[in-house]
Amino acid sequence: MLPDSPSAQTQGRPALILASSSRYRRELLERLRIPFSTAVPAIDETPRAGETPEATALRLAGEKARAVAAALPAGAARTLVIGSDQVATFDGRQIGKPGTHERALEQLQSMRGREVLFHSALSLLDTSTGQTDSVDVVTKVRFRDLPDAALDAYLRAEEPYDCAGSAKSEGLGIALLEAIESDDPTALIGLPLIALTRMLLAAGYPLLEAQS
């Protein structure tokens, strides 16, 4: 639960923690060239009965941030905790991470030629105030109508079994897609950086100042 390495305040910047075990989110946050640490939030990610995909994503993003913040030592310096969660849905059904080749193939077969909505929720918790800024960024993805052999070949090449929707748009998975519609191009990968940088700047985090 505690961060993997301290992200101490530097030159007036609050510490920054990414509440996630996802390597994809970590790689995206590294693009901002700012110091941060990561911590794995211990929460139950099961959707609740009757919960909409947007509500599930927003709730889990907030719970991840709060779980990590609650584990910080008493009296810790001001820290900004980033929580994020993604839920894919079509035909009113939520689509989770497949986990296996067989489930991934079933996902891709059911989605070919169809439009899928990806809800990428983001929460930024400020431990100095307890306030959380949250947003749900929706990405519309239309899959190509490809034969089983092509879908199977893709899965064996990239093994995207830890990705909701069973395709990595930042890799070979882009060949499975006809169109992507989103206000934030990194949202589909798992961490909406346009929304995140807006939140960080609003929280007074000096993203664009010279760093020593």
**Residues designated as active site:** 85
Q: Is 165 exposed, middle or buried (0-12, 13-18, 19+ CB in 10 A)?
A: buried
For residue 82, report the phi and psi dihedrals to the nearest 5 degrees.
-100, 120
- Of the candidates 165, 186, 174, the one whose C-alpha atom is nearest the C-alpha of residue 30 is 186
Q: How many whole angstroms separate alpha carbon 161 and alpha carbon 149?
A: 17
The torsion angle over the Cα atoms of residues 132, 66, 135 and 61, rounded to 10 degrees, is 180
Tell me the C-alpha distance between 144 and 147, whole Å. 9
